[in-house]
Copies of this chain bind each other. A is one copy, B any other.
Amino acid sequence: MGDDKRLRDAAEKLALILAQGGMQKTTARVMTCLLFSQQETLTAADLCAELQISSGAVSGAVKQLAPSGLLERVPAPGSRRDHYRFPDGAWATLMSQQNQLLATMGEAADQGLAAAGDPSTPAGRRLAEMKDFYTFMLRELPPLIERWRTDFTAKHPNQETQQSG
């Protein structure tokens, strides 16, 4: 029983960290609740009870988490309620989505370069470096994540790490 409390505390603690990092507080709490729960799935009602929040708040959090791949709706035969779970491989999915940001940064650098013209100007020099960096990362990061996926599934053959999408 004490373990449950410790899990609860650890969940809230991580939620706080994520919230400081920019994530919505309630959204973070919903996510960590699913992550640290000893049940495979939780319903919206479970989350309301566990986190002491309204059903509207749960709905909002779900709407944010689901597209990011940090929450999955699970078909629940026999129950009319939606069941939610933290998907396997979610962290890898999340980091993969950062690639979109890398691409955006590269494009921003491009636009700046088009306006700055010469890479010998101060702005041109800075933006050229920026572009180089993000191009590099965009090329190197996806294979790295893929390698983790491969390694991990090799280590855990019973657990198919599913990609969303």
Q: Chain A interface (Cβ within 8 Å of chain B)?
A: 3, 6-7, 9-11, 13-14, 17, 21-22, 35-40, 86, 88-89, 91-92, 95, 101, 104-105, 108, 111-112, 114-117, 121-123, 125-127, 129-130, 132-134, 136-137, 140-141, 144, 148, 151-152, 155, 159, 161
A3 to B111, CA, bound (A): 11
Q: Is there contact, CB below 8 Å, between A148 and B125?
A: no
A133 contact from B17, B122, B148, Cβ within 8 A: B148
Q: Is there contact, CB below 8 Å, between B136 and A148?
A: yes
A133 to B21, CA, bound (A): 19
A88 to B21, CA, bound (A): 25
A21 contact from B10, B22, B38, B155, Cβ within 8 A: B22
A159 to B105, CA, bound (A): 22
Q: Is there contact, CB below 8 Å, between B40 and A115?
A: no
In the complex, what residues of B have CB within 8 A of residue A151's CB? Answer: 136
> Secondary structure at chain A's binding surface: helix, strand, loop or mixed?
helix
Q: Is there contact, CB below 8 Å, between B38 and A116?
A: yes
Known: A7-B116, A132-B152; 14 extra A-B contacts, CB below 8 A, are A3-B115, A3-B116, A7-B112, A11-B112, A14-B108, A17-B108, A35-B126, A35-B130, A36-B112, A36-B126, A91-B129, A136-B148, A137-B144, A144-B144
